[in-house]
Amino acid sequence: MYTLMQKESDVSLQGRVLGLLISVSAFGVPAGMLVFGPLADVVDVRLLFVVGGLMTVPIGAYVMRSARRNRVAE
Average pLDDT per consecutive 10 residues, the chain (74 residues; last block may be shorter): 70 72 83 83 86 88 83 63
Model pLDDT, residue 45: 83
Model pLDDT, residue 72: 66
Q: Residue 13's closest CA among 28, 21, 26, 70?
A: 21
CA distance 61 to 64: 5
Model pLDDT, residue 19: 78
Q: Do 2 and 15 contact (CB within 8 A), yes or no?
A: no
pTM of the model: 0.44
Model pLDDT, residue 39: 81
